[in-house]
Amino acid sequence: MWYLALIAFVPIVFCVVVMAAFNWPAKYALPVSWLLACIFGFIFWDMDLLSLTAYSISGLLNSIDVLIIITGAILVMNTLKMSGAMATINNGFKSISPDGRIQTIIIGFLFVSFLEAAAGFGTPAALAAPLLASLGCPPLGAAVVALICDTSAVSFGAIGTPVITSINCLGPEIATQSFSMSLSFWSAVPHVAVSTFLPFVIVAVICKFFSKERSFRPAIQILPFSLLAGLSFSIPYLLVATFVGYEFPSIFGALIGLIVTVVAAKKGFLVPKTEWHFSDQTDWDESWKSSRKLVPMKPSNMSLLKAWIPYGLIAVLLVVSRLPVSVGGKTIAAWLKSDVISPSISSVFGVENTGYILKWAYIPGTMFIFVALLTILIHQMKGREVFSAFKETGKQVAGAAVAVVFGLALVQILRYSGSNDVNAEGTKSMIFYMAEALSGVGKSVYVMIAPVIGDLGAFVSGSNTVSNTLFTNLQYQSATNLGLRGDMIVAMQVVGGAVGNMICVNNVVAACATVATNGKEGKIIRMNLIPTLLYTAVVIGIFLIILWTGNMDAGTKIFT
């Protein structure tokens, strides 16, 4: 059924080509891609109109979660702008260091990693990109950088959710304690190899592509400081993944990295003597700018502590809500996800796999909205300032809504056009045929393809967790068939799913919405495709070396 794999790829390839090559906005590309998937599902997968409608509505329902996150992140940013807190926060970052390169590292790499570690699910780019833009970084560059850095922390993001998902997919008979710890280690190794240099990469991107001088020289000047930031994240990250487990590598790496980097910046340790600043807006290329004028920041003499209270509250709420602490026999997360407070529907038109639960109390976006409302009181905002913040938020969210809805409707059609069970008989889903077509090769080639399958899953679904849900069993079964170590192949899936976050349409749309660069999603995907491929190449290279040294065959024991 090789032709079904080719057909299944068409909606995805179409979406990538028209966005990256022809600069179609996501709000146009995704509806057409969804329509193609529906047509192919009807003709080649025998899906009836009722099922196509039900899965599309299911995508609409699932988009509520993403839109709440986007809305909350934008509302927090606009509220802080109108209260005067953002002006104070900007001055605070400048007091740490007036150097735009250091600000890019602290916010673009470490703050993004912390947000991913605590919450995940679209939160990092949505919160960090506008913060970086408010410091003077061109909006398009802020979105690009936030997305590039929302990778290394992803595999262990949201308190280890992606790895936990893979373990749950395999079951306790396969995912023993030894297997799980080995999976944690091998998921961390490729990320450490890249994250050590990621701060330098994002500074290089800003200096070369989003500055007046368009040169790598300023990035090279700050290379020692960049490496300090990378190592202060990656060393504790690897140690925790190796000796503690998969829940806390990202959060420890990000927190320790933030402390070390901020202290070093304030002390001037490894900081270049010559300061570098973001280019003045008069020197920006038109493509770097927001697609419309944003609400300006209100000048303020607010104290730094008071200005940071909203972000502090967000951090506390995200971390506490995701800690594996039992309260009354349930974790806090379990209480927040409880059916008692979460409205749900069992199915749409009685079609299987279309149920939906609005876990509003657990969604990070709800916490953002709650904090934004508290900020109105804490910062004693005036009525016109509140109205302006809400009005601006509505305009920005409206630009992303169409893309998000049709993007998730497309995902549902791809996922449920057939079975995703490795051992099931009959027609498989479109997404399964895509992965299966990539996996029918020999050992060396499969090692090169395994992370690409993870990339594909994240690009299509917008989530490392969903990618792992779809493909963990396929990857493990392929490893078994080829005589390869299952823990390493599943680790490649976990890492690939994280790398795919750089270019996944949902995250790109969210980041663009928060800095009002809607319609430029294709340009971002085109730019981020290069670091995505390079990151994936590093992952492949590491595991190919292990394969060629004979340590990747099933039954071998290395670091387990």
- Residues of the chain with pLDDT > 70, as a percent, come to 94
Indicate the range of 106-115, 305-314, 417-426 predicted with least confidence. 417-426
Please tell me the predicted confidence (pLDDT) of residue 214.
Answer: 92
pLDDT in tens, 360-404: 998 878 888 999 999 999 999 999 999 998 988 888 777 668 877
- Residues of the chain with pLDDT > 90, as a percent, come to 42
pLDDT in tens, 459-472: 876 678 777 877 78
Identity (one letter) of the amino acid at 414?
L
Mean pLDDT of 91-116: 89
Cα separation values, 336 from 71, 120, 272, 319, 322, Å = 20, 17, 47, 13, 10
Integer Cα distance of 468 and 199 in angstroms: 27
- Two tokens at 401? 């809504």
In angstroms, how far is CA 466 from the centroid of its own chain? 12
Count of CB atoms situated within 10 Å of the CB of 269: 13
Burial class (CB in 10 A: 0-12, 13-18, 19+), 105: buried
CA-closest candidate to residue 420, choices 43, 32, 33, 8:
8
pLDDT band at 226 (very low <50, low <70, confident <90, very high): very high
- Two tokens at 408? 């998730």
Please tell me the predicted confidence (pLDDT) of residue 106.
Answer: 94
**Mean per-residue pLDDT of the chain:** 87
pLDDT band at 420 (very low <50, low <70, confident <90, very high): low
pLDDT in tens, 14-48: 887 887 778 787 788 889 999 999 999 999 999 99
Any idea of the CA torsion for 500, 506, 510, 513, to the nearest 10 degrees? 120
Please tell me the predicted confidence (pLDDT) of residue 121.
Answer: 58
Cα separation values, 386 from 68, 303, 514, Å = 19, 20, 18
- Two tokens at 544? 């190919």
Judge whether residue 438 has pLDDT over 60: yes
Residue 90, SS3? Answer: helix
Mean pLDDT of 431-442: 75
Please tell me the predicted confidence (pLDDT) of residue 384.
Answer: 92
Mean pLDDT of 135-161: 89
Q: Phi and psi of 484, rounded to 5°?
A: -105, 160
Please tell me the predicted confidence (pLDDT) of residue 399.
Answer: 65
pTM of the model: 0.77
Integer Cα distance of 237 and 110 in angstroms: 12
Integer Cα distance of 560 and 183 in angstroms: 9
Q: What is the largest CA-CA distance in the chain?
A: 68
DSSP 283: G
Integer Cα distance of 277 and 202 in angstroms: 15
Look-up: residue for tokens 């980041």? 511
Q: Phi and psi of 507, rounded to 5°?
A: -70, -40
pLDDT in tens, 256-281: 999 999 999 999 999 999 999 999 98
Please tell me the predicted confidence (pLDDT) of residue 123.
Answer: 64
Mean pLDDT of 1-13: 85
Strands 326-327 and 356-357: unpaired
DSSP 281: G
CA-closest candidate to residue 448, choices 492, 488, 484, 494:
492
DSSP 44: H
Please tell me the predicted confidence (pLDDT) of residue 294.
Answer: 64
Q: Does residue 285 or residue 326 have the better pLDDT?
A: 285
The answer to whether 544 and 448 have CB atoms below 8 angstroms apart is: yes
pLDDT in tens, 48-72: 999 999 999 998 998 888 788 778 8
DSSP 427: P
Residues in the chain: 560
DSSP 153: T
pLDDT winner (highest mean) among 78-82, 140-144, 283-287? 140-144
pLDDT in tens, 474-521: 788 788 878 889 899 999 999 999 999 898 877 888 788 888 888 888
The answer to whether 457 and 467 have CB atoms below 8 angstroms apart is: yes
